[in-house]
Structures are given as structure tokens and as C-alpha cells.
A = this chain, B = another copy of it.
Amino acid sequence: MPGSGKSMFSSIARNMGIPVYVMGDVIREEARRRGLEPTPANLNMIARLLREEYGPAVVAERIAEKLREDPSPVVLIDGVRSLVEVEVFEKLGRVVIVAVHASPRTRFERLRRRGRPGDPQTWEEFRQRDLTELGFGLGSVIALADYMLVNEGPATEFKEKARMLLAGLVADGS
């Protein structure tokens, strides 16, 4: 969910030499291709249009094309939003779902502090954005996570848990 600490987890993986594929990058690429600025509104529109044109698994399928050319034994895919997407990756190899959880209150405070373009500033905007994410089926992916990392405490604690989990997965998958 937004503000849970998902990108922090990805950065740690990247620093450990694990290739990271970001689902949202597919949308940003498509924006570039269509000559559109990557504003939150444009990216949302493109995400919707892509799914309408090519089906609910389109973003995963575009990542899958890249994965077929990646010889790495373990990769991280950041930002899976539905079980339909998970199924695309299950066709390519073993999938381990890692969810990063923080309470709505904690996530709201983080996003408000972060203040990236498109980040919610009011509780209503925040709730609406959560419901949009859940509308894709993100909750089902979280509920079926193989690993649930809770990120409520200090960042150092979370980073340590993340590194240990990733090291185990790399050892397991290599």
C-alpha cells in the first residue's frame, strides 16, 4: 500500500545486487512513448487505458518480456497489484510474495511528510487512493503473501529485517 515502505525494500534489494523491475516504470515508459508528461493524473489515465486496451495483466506481461531476457536467478518485481499479475509471473518461475505492511495511520503520516507530487495531503485523499489500489485487487495479493514485513518501527529495524529476508531468498533461489 502507498507509504508502507515498499520502495525502501526495493532500494535494499538493488544495493544487494538484485535486479529490480518496477511495475510503475512500464506506465512511465508508455507515457514517454505517447509524448505525455509523467504527472500523477497522466500516469493514472495511462494505467487505466493500457488495462482497457490490453487486459488486466498488461503491465505484468510487459515486465515478463524483459524477464525472459534476464539471466539472474532471483529478481524483485516491485508493485504487483493483483493475483492476475502474480499468475503471469508464476508461468516464468517460482514466485515468492513479500508484502510490506504499515497501518493506515502510519502510512498517511509518511506520505504527508514525503509530499511527492500526487501524494495525499488530507485523510480523504489518502483513503481514496487506498481504495483505488485495493480496487485493482491488491488486498488479495497482500493476504496471500509468503512473507509479511511489518514496517511500523524505526527504519533501521525494517532495513535489517528486509536484508535478512532478501539474503535468505537469494540463497534459496541461486
Q: List chain A positions with a Cβ less than 8 A from chain B.
A: 1, 101, 103-105, 130, 134, 137-148, 150
Q: Are B104 and A146 closer than 8 Å at their CB atoms? A: yes
Q: Are A143 and B144 closer than 8 Å at their CB atoms? A: no
Contacts of A103 in B (CB 8 A): 145-148
Of the candidates B104, B105, B130, B139, the one whose C-beta lies within 8 Å of that of A142 is B139
Bound state CA distance, A150 and B101, in angstroms?
A: 11
Q: Are A143 and B1 closer than 8 Å at their CB atoms? A: yes
Closest 4 CB pairs of A and B: A139-B139, A139-B140, A139-B143, A134-B140
Of the candidates B130, B145, B146, the one whose C-beta lies within 8 Å of that of A144 is B130
- Taking A134-B143, A137-B139, A139-B143 as known contacts, 11 extra A-B pairs with beta carbons closer than 8 A to each other, sorted by chain A number, are A1-B143, A101-B143, A101-B145, A103-B147, A130-B144, A138-B139, A138-B143, A139-B140, A139-B141, A139-B144, A143-B143
In the assembled complex, the CB of A6 is this many whole angstroms from the nearest CB of chain B, namely: 12
Q: Can you list 25 A-B contacts with CB-CB less than 8 angstroms, sorted by A residue number? A: A1-B143, A1-B144, A101-B143, A101-B145, A101-B148, A103-B145, A103-B146, A103-B148, A104-B144, A104-B146, A130-B143, A130-B144, A134-B139, A134-B140, A134-B143, A137-B139, A138-B139, A139-B139, A139-B140, A139-B143, A139-B144, A142-B142, A142-B143, A148-B148, A150-B150
